Amino acid sequence: MTVPNTVEAAPAENTTIVTGRARRLRARRRNVALGSIVAGAAVFSGAALGSTTCLYGDGIILASRSIGIKPINLMLAILPYAGIAAGLSLVLYLVTGFVAA
């Protein structure tokens, strides 16, 4: 009678032993990646806000000329809505910053 060979169970492919240092490095990389995404979003949202509220911006000039009003009147009409969007963006960026930290 032969005894079957015993084979030690090999770890599954997806399991790895993660040390504390490796875990901190992964978290730091994730924060850097999230930080660069949030920074890019902040730049683009600031550019959109500036383009929308700039009195001499092409969007304001073209829109005001096409409907026949002065650019200042159009900008003053858009300003409250742009302020709401800017305030909401600021709050959400702060929340994202505190959650990611």
For 9-43, write each residue's pLDDT tens digit.
555 555 556 566 666 666 666 656 667 788 888 88
Q: HSE-up of 16 (CA within 13 Å, CB side)?
A: 6
- pLDDT, residue 82, reads 93
Residue 99 has pLDDT above 70, yes or no: yes
Residues 55, 47: Cα–Cα separation, whole Å: 14
Measured between alpha carbons, how far is 8 from 87 in angstroms, rounded to an integer?
60
Q: What is the rounded CA–CA span in Å between residue 74 and residue 86? A: 18
Q: At what angle do helices 58-67 and 20-53 cross, to 10 degrees?
A: 40
Q: Would you tell me the crossing angle of helices 71-100 and 20-53 to the nearest 10 degrees?
A: 170
Q: Which tens digits make up the pLDDT trace of 49-71?
A: 988 889 888 889 999 999 999 99
pTM, two decimals, is 0.61
